[in-house]
Amino acid sequence: MRVTVVGAGVVGTMHAWQAVERGHTVVQIEREAEARGASLRNFGQIWVSGRAGGEELDTALRARELWQRMGERVPALGFRANGSLTPVRGALERAVAEAALARPDAAARGYQLLTAGEARALNPALRGDFDAALYCERDAAVEPRTAQLALRAELSKSPNYTFLPGREVREVVSAGAVRDDHGDLHTADTVVLCTGAWLGGLVRELAGPGLPVRRVRLQMMQTDPLGEPLTTSVADADSFRYYPAYASSALDELNARQPQSETAAAHRMQLLMVQRADGGLTIGDTHAYEQPFDFDTVEDPYDHLRAVVESFLGRPLPRIRRRWAGVYAQCTDPSRVVHRQQLRDGVWLVTGPGGRGMTCSPATAETTADELGW
């Protein structure tokens, strides 16, 4: 088959990967010189721990397996099975962790409740005060700023793969045929639009006004090298409030009796932290849903994150090297892992993974390939 993939972020690149692996001829078109959206501006986490049970967890676990396979084949992805720790303080936070352990799918996630000493033995950088920590063995990480480049370098070894940057697809001409802003026509058996948070232009024209996808803005930062390994990813108990796996009566009690701080609540915050290959820490994040989004990055969330991280590390953070904002697309139907829709004969839209894009994209692309008969 001939497949045209529009978009070079992680979702688009995984679709190109699936098609090439199945023996098809692929043209991947990207409107920028390189992808610059949420696929780069994230933690690089393969985040199994907080996923909703059922299809979402199954997708994340399958994606985790595929990421590991690709990491073995493409070492430049920086795949590492580092797991995650969520330190907890007090009886209310501990009760939420214990409720997670009681889930029927806890073993599939690799949940364990560790003592503070056991958590520090696993991740010695956590020298601050906490009572226990929820460990998720199945969590992993890759390097988000270079993962797409590494995958595309591997794809480019195939004579069946062509990458066309700096082109914006403007028109669907006929079944499987699109025209770009250079005037070139690209014909294929299937076109898959993986345009991320770019929901205007051709996407709006084809999908209409009822597209069940919204845009979400976040703020993040990265430090200079920590000077020692952070051997796991780290979250805080505020992450319990945002991930569906932790829903329980214990979480209801935590929310009622120990609400978020004013800053964390105002910016819909949780702590997620991953160490990069150079030793720096990627730290975030915030969530904003109301458009138009602010163009400023504001300091209060960064101050809050710094305080939380330093309380876990028991030491000052290294210098902040960079701060950034990003926007991703999130499907508003909670029953879907992603929004997948046929727009025209031979033209499909795959978007809206939300904060699951980096985690679930390999399995999302595999599902598309299976459903479209690639």
User: pLDDT above 70 covers what percent of the chain?
Assistant: 100
Reported as a pLDDT band with limits 50, 70 and 90, residue 187 is very high
User: So what's the pLDDT on residue 114?
Assistant: 98
Mean pLDDT confidence for 347-351: 98
Burial of 299 (0-12, 13-18, 19+ CB in 10 A): exposed
Position 68 confidence tier, pLDDT thresholds 50, 70, 90: very high
| Cα separation, 161 vs 114, whole angstroms | 47
Q: What is the pLDDT of residue 39?
A: 87
The first and second tokens of residue 240, run together, are 């319990």
Report domain extents, the chain. 1-79+141-212+337-374
End-to-end CA distance of the chain: give it in Å, rounded.
7
pLDDT digits (tens, 9 = 90+) for 19-39: 999 999 999 999 999 988 988
What predicted TM-score, i.e. pTM, was given to this entire model? 0.96
322 contact partners, CB below 8 Å, separation of at least 6: 221, 222
Q: CB-based contacts of 230: which residues, under 8 Å, 6+ apart?
A: 123, 125, 273, 274, 275, 281
Residue 209 confidence (pLDDT): 87
- CATH dotted code for 1-79+141-212+337-374: 3.50.50.60
Query: How crowded is residue 370: how many other Cβ atoms within 10 Å of its Cβ?
Result: 11
Give 204-258 pLDDT, tens digit per residue: 999 988 999 999 999 999 999 999 999 999 999 999 999 999 999 999 999 999 9
* Confidence grade of residue 153 (pLDDT, cut at 50, 70, 90): very high
Task: Say how many residues make up the chain.
Answer: 374
* Average pLDDT across the chain, whole number: 96
**CA distances (Å), 105 to each of 48, 51, 111, in order?**
11, 11, 9
CA dist 199 and 208 (Å) reads 10
